[in-house]
Amino acid sequence: QVQLVQSGAEVKKPGASVKVSCKASGYKFTSYFIHWVRQAPGKGLEWMGIINSSSGSTNYAQMLQGRVTMTRDTSTSTVYMDLSSLRPEDTAVYFCTRGGQNTFFDYWGQGTLVAVSS
């Protein structure tokens, strides 16, 4: 069965970086894109960006340009989301989700809480 398993919760100080992983299984990894979506406490869903698991090409949300980097390792079917210069407002649950160059997200990771606090 299709699964996306994310890395565990992180606590970071402002200005630090965080790298969240998303390991895919149960399907051909390179046939799908992976999107990252985050949700601040009590807030709505915010799209962060997309990575083509085959080519590695990316497209990031404008408001995160320069701070977010998405990469993939096809040998381990894992996608990584790196967010730098962390601010308290980056505190959120970060989800990876499988999709295409569209908004049909059929499988989701369990979510990773990233807390940013001094």
Partner 1 sequence: QSVLTQPPSASGTPGQRVTISCSGSSSNIGSNVVNWYQQLPGTAPKVLIYNNDQRPSGVPGRFSGSKSGTSASLAISGLQSEDEADYYCVAWDDSLNGHVVFGGGTKLTVL
The binding site for partner 1 (CB under 8 A) comprises 35, 37, 44-47, 50, 59, 61-62, 95, 97, 101-106, 108-111
Least distance from C-beta 12 to partner 1, angstroms? 22
Least distance from C-beta 98 to partner 1, angstroms? 11
Least distance from C-beta 75 to partner 1, angstroms? 26
Q: Count CB neighbours of 89 within 10 A.
A: 9
Nearest residue to 68 (alpha-carbon basis) of 53, 90, 89: 90
| CB nearer partner 1, residue 29 or residue 33 | 33
| CB nearer partner 1, residue 57 or residue 74 | 57
| CB nearer partner 1, residue 35 or residue 72 | 35
The per-residue DSSP string of the chain comes to --EEEE---EEE-TT--EEEEEEEESS-GGGSEEEEEEE-TT--EEEEEEEETTT--EEE-GGGTTTEEEEEETTTTEEEEEE-S--GGG-EEEEEEEE-SSS---EE---EEEEE--
Least distance from C-beta 36 to partner 1, angstroms? 10
| CB nearer partner 1, residue 25 or residue 59 | 59
